Chain A
C-alpha cells in the first residue's frame, strides 16, 4: 500500500491502482455528505481533480495520483456517501486507474512513512 500527501491510499494489483482516502483523512473531514465520481474511460493526468467530496464542513478534491485511464468507479458511494466514514480503507474506494508507468508509485509514502506524516 502507498500513500499520498493528500491522504489517498493507493493499492496496486497487476497494473491497476485502486484509490481511496485514509481513515485519518475521513476522520478529519467529518461526515461525508456528497461524492462526485469521474466518468469511466477518461484519461487523466497526475494531479487532475477527479473526485469531489463534501463533508458537513467543506468541499475537497481528490487528485489523480498517477497518469492513466479510469477503468472503474465505486458508483454506490454516490447514493451512500456516509460509507466513506464507515469503511474508508475498504468498501469505500473511489476509483480504479490503469497506469502505464508503475515506477511513479515509488514516489509515494509507504505505511511507516505515512504514519510519520500524520503524527
Chain B
C-alpha cells in the first residue's frame, strides 16, 4: 500500500504568499488547516508596536471569501443582521446564529451592488458555506482564486494610495472595487486591529506582486498571527472559537448592537430569535468583559475567576489573555456572572494555585482609531 501518499485530510493548505513568507523569514505554524506565519524575525512584540505606530501587512488569505448572488433579504434567513438596510458600498459586522440562540460564527457582510460579499473565519468556513448553501443554494460561490491581505495602522492610507489613489475617499466600513497595477482590488476600510486600515482581496496571481509593492514602502512591516491576536485583544474584538462559540449568545457576548432595530422589531425571523430577543430585553446572566490583571502575570484562556480569595464557586472564566504591548501590561477577556460584571469590580484569577487580583474593565482596552 502507498506508504508515501500524503493524506489529503491532514495536508496543510498554503496561501499564494507562502514563498514570500519563507523568504521574509517567517515562522510558519498550522492554523485552521492552513500553514500560516505566526511571526517574522521582528518578533510579536515589535510587530504589534510597529502596526500601531506605522503600518503592518497581514496575510489573511486563509479566511473564507464568499460571493452571494441572492437577494439581500434571503441572507437574513441565517443572520440576525439588517442586510436589507445595508447600502451599496457598505459593510457590516454580522453573526450566524443557531436555533437555540448560540453564535455559530462571526463574519463581515458587504453590499457590492449586484452581489453580497462575505468573509468568514477560516476555522468555520466549511460549516458556514454549508449553512449558506442550505439557505441560498446555488447563489453561494466560494472564492478560491483570490487572496486576502490586510494593511493596518495609521500610515495605511498613504501607503495604499500609492497603489490605488481612490482608497483615500473611503471611510470606515466602506467597500469598493479599486483599479490598480495588480488588477481590480476589492477593498474594504476595516480590519481586526482597532487601527484604521484596509482589507484587500486580490487575484491569487497578483497577490505576491501587490504584497511586495506594499512592503517596499519603508513604513510597512509584515505581521504574523501572533501580533494579530494581541492587536485584536487590545481592541476588545472577540475571536470566534475563543471568546465566541455556539454555547454563547449575542447578549452574553455584548453583540446585541449587531442585531439591527429592523430585525428586533419587524423582521424577527432569524434562527434563535425568540431566545436572543428575550435575552437582549431581560439581560443575560453572564457578560463578556475586559479584565486587567493587577500583577504582571498574564491570565490566559482557561483561568478560572472567583469573587474573592476564598470563594469556592467560580463566577467566570478567561477566554483570551495575552500581554498587551501597547498597554505594556497583561490583558484578558472573559465571561463573568452579571452581578460581578460592573467596571471596577475586583475579581481573583486562579493562576498556578494562587489567586491573583484582576479588575473588570470596559472594552476596548485601547480606543480604536477608525476613520469614520
Contacts and interface: CB of A to CB of B under 8 A. Distances in A.
A81 B325 CA distance: 13
Interface stretch (B38-46, B172-180, B280-288): B38-46
A36 B297 contact: yes
Contact of A34 (B44, B226, B230, B296): B296
B330 interface: yes
A72 interface: no
B45 A31 contact: yes
B300 interface: yes
Nearest to A49: B352
A81 B330 CA distance: 13
A70 interface: no
Interface in B34-91: 39, 43-46
A40 interface: no
B323 interface: yes
Given A31-B43, A34-B330, A56 B322 contact: yes
A56 B300 contact: no
B44 A56 contact: yes
A52 interface: yes
A25 B298 CA distance: 20
Contacts of B300: 58-59
B226 to A, nearest CB: 6
A58 to B, nearest CB: 8
Interface residues of B, number: 15
B324 to A, nearest CB: 9
A78 interface: yes
B352 A33 contact: no
Interface in B327-348: 330
B297 A34 contact: yes
B330 A33 contact: yes
A5 to B, nearest CB: 22
Contacts of B45: 31, 33, 56, 82
Contacts of A57: 44, 226
A38 interface: no
A106 to B, nearest CB: 32
A42 to B, nearest CB: 16
Interface string A44-71: 0000000010101111000000000000
Contacts of B230: 56
Contacts of A58: 300
Contacts of A30: 39, 43-44, 226
A54 B297 contact: yes
B352 to A, nearest CB: 7
A92 to B, nearest CB: 16
B27 to A, nearest CB: 9
Nearest to A58: B300
Contacts of A82: 45
B298 A34 contact: yes
A39 to B, nearest CB: 13
A54 B323 contact: yes
Contacts of A56: 43-45, 226, 230, 322-323
A34 B323 CA distance: 9
Nearest to B352: A52
B270 to A, nearest CB: 39
Contacts of A34: 296-298, 323, 330
Contacts of B323: 33-34, 54, 56
A54 B293 CA distance: 14
A58 B44 CA distance: 12
A30 to B, nearest CB: 6
Contacts of A78: 296
A63 B39 CA distance: 28
B43 A33 contact: no
A31 B324 CA distance: 12
A31 to B, nearest CB: 4
Interface in B20-43: 39, 43
Given A30-B44, A34-B296, 11 more contacts: A30-B226, A31-B45, A33-B323, A34-B323, A36-B297, A52-B352, A54-B298, A56-B45, A56-B230, A58-B300, A59-B300
24 contacts: A30-B44, A30-B226, A31-B43, A31-B45, A33-B330, A34-B296, A34-B297, A34-B330, A36-B297, A52-B352, A54-B297, A54-B298, A54-B323, A56-B44, A56-B45, A56-B226, A56-B230, A56-B322, A56-B323, A57-B226, A59-B298, A78-B296, A81-B296, A82-B45
- When A and B form their complex, which 5 residue pairs have the shortest distance between CB atoms, in order from nearest? A33-B323, A31-B45, A56-B44, A34-B296, A31-B43
